[in-house]
Amino acid sequence: MSDAVIEERPAEATPKVSAPKPYWNSYAAGALLGLVLLAGFVVTGRGLGASGAMTRIAAHTLQKVDASVRGGTAAEHETYARQNRYTAQYINDASDPLDDFLVWLFVGVLVGGFVSGVASGRAGLELIKGPHTSWKRRVFFAGLGGFISAIGARLARGCTSGQALSGGATLALGSWIFMLAVFAGGYALAYFLRKEWL
Amino acid sequence: MDPSAPFAKVDGWGTPALAAMALLLGAGFGFALEKAGFGNAKTLSGQWYGTNFAVLRVMFTAIVVAMVGLFTLSYLGVVDLSLVSINETWIWPQLIGGLVFGFGFVIGQYCPGTALVAGATGKLDAMVFLGGFFLGSFAFFFAYPWLEGFYGSSAMGRVLLPDALHVPAGVVVFGVVLVALGAFALTHVLDRRFGHGRS
């Protein structure tokens, strides 16, 4: 009798081991994010940032590649990265990029994201795209979006983390201008790209 | 009693302690972003097409929590706000930079932090976004000699909204909380109207 009951159970009722867990409620995730940001202010006196580390890594990459192409002992001091007034601020003899607060923050974000993704069954190679677009278009727009974002972030001296989130919470005037401009720019362009996502 | 925080500045932390703390803060940041669903471009794109308002809800909840906490601790004399790094203001570079960043966000459907989390969990489109971000950073370096004048224009230094609006900080904090609550309510009205019920 009990065997028959088991056999009648529909296949869908069997729990799927691979099904990812649902995301957290947005307000709960936001509250955790806010507490992490508050901890940053109270413990270190700084907020969070993501693009700053990438700028430092890019500037040091430029320096290393240029120095090795030039070769020789004096080459380290003749590089473009030292002559360029923007990158020069990140390349000085006293500083190691691995001593940088933002670079360690960057490593932490990768670790924290990975741990959460694995624990929730959401980690794995996958290309995310809208239902009516091709993977080629998605790759093109993802790369282009990254390129354009970098220019915007460098002009504004920060991205969604360093300006909108951290600057927003400290009530910095320029950060609120940045945040409103991001939403304005995004909504102005969204209509024209709707077929990529809807 | 003198303020005891920010601890690292008041107690003069060295590099190893700061690096360890940065690693810990980053891990919490990445964890929260992933749990919010921001490791997937579909969640982020929902903000622009009205199908998922997680971006607005998460971001404004985080801002409200950190802002109320920081200004309360400052008011109570626990945190010395003058020792907290607060972004300086350059009106035009931040306005134009924000518009350009918004274009990039909608085109790529990630921002740097969310792309790191998405890339860490294997999203290939996020890895491409990050590659584009590095190339864009190099492009900015090479263009800097031409952009330098604009980049340094309209510099105002450390200006907070309360200074700019000539009202006490508490009033601005209260105002931001009210605006956030109003925005949350609006997103739930839109969800009900268009049948996207998920938060």
Complex ipTM? 0.96
- What local confidence, expressed as pLDDT, does residue B175 receive? 97
Q: By percentage, how much of chain B surpasses pLDDT 90?
A: 91
Closest-CA residue to B38 (of B52, B23, B22):
B52
Q: Which of A27-31, A188-192, B67-71, B193-197 has the lowest mean pLDDT?
A: B193-197
Between CA A90 and CA A62 the distance in angstroms is 11
Closest-CA residue to A184 (of B103, B92, B80):
B103
Residue A4: pLDDT band by 50, 70, 90 thresholds? Answer: very low
Could you report the per-residue pLDDT of A8-42, keeping only the tens digit for each? 555 555 555 568 899 999 999 999 999 999 999 99
- What local confidence, expressed as pLDDT, does residue A17 receive? 56
On whether the pTM is more than 0.80, the answer is: yes
SS3 content of chain B, % helix, strand, coil (to 5): 75, 5, 25
User: Helices marked H in chain A — which ranges?
Assistant: 2-8, 26-39, 51-70, 80-83, 85-88, 101-119, 135-156, 166-169, 173-190
* Choice between A69 and A7, residue whose per-residue pLDDT is larger: A69
Mean predicted lDDT score pLDDT of chain B: 95
Provide the number of CB pairs (under 8 Å) joining chain A to chain B: 541
Cα A47–Cα B51–Cα B35 angle in degrees, nearest 5: 40
Between CA A160 and CA B184 the distance in angstroms is 19
Provide the residue type at A169 as one letter: A
Between CA B107 and CA A189 the distance in angstroms is 8
CB contact under 8 A, B110 and A85: no
Distance separating the N- and C-terminal Cα atoms of chain B = 44
- What local confidence, expressed as pLDDT, does residue B199 receive? 44
pLDDT higher than 90, residue A159: yes
DSSP code string of B67-86:
HHHHHHHHHTTSB-GGGS--
Select the residue from B52, B79, B87 to test the A interface by mutation, using most A Cβ atoms within 10 A.
B87
Could you report the per-residue pLDDT of A83-123, keeping only the tens digit for each? 999 999 888 766 666 678 999 999 999 999 999 999 999 99
* Choice between B128 and B13, residue whose per-residue pLDDT is larger: B128
Residue A1: pLDDT band by 50, 70, 90 thresholds? Answer: very low
pLDDT higher than 50, residue A5: no
Positive or negative torsion for Cα A171, B151, A108, B117: positive
Could you report the per-residue pLDDT of B78-89, keeping only the tens digit for each? 999 999 999 999
B40 touches chain A (CB under 8 A): yes
Between CA A30 and CA B55 the distance in angstroms is 9
Closest-CA residue to B62 (of A92, A2, A151, A36):
A36
B170 touches chain A (CB under 8 A): no
CB contact under 8 A, A152 and B100: yes
Q: How many CA atoms lie within 13 A of A33 on its CB side?
A: 35
Over range A136-159, report the average pLDDT.
98
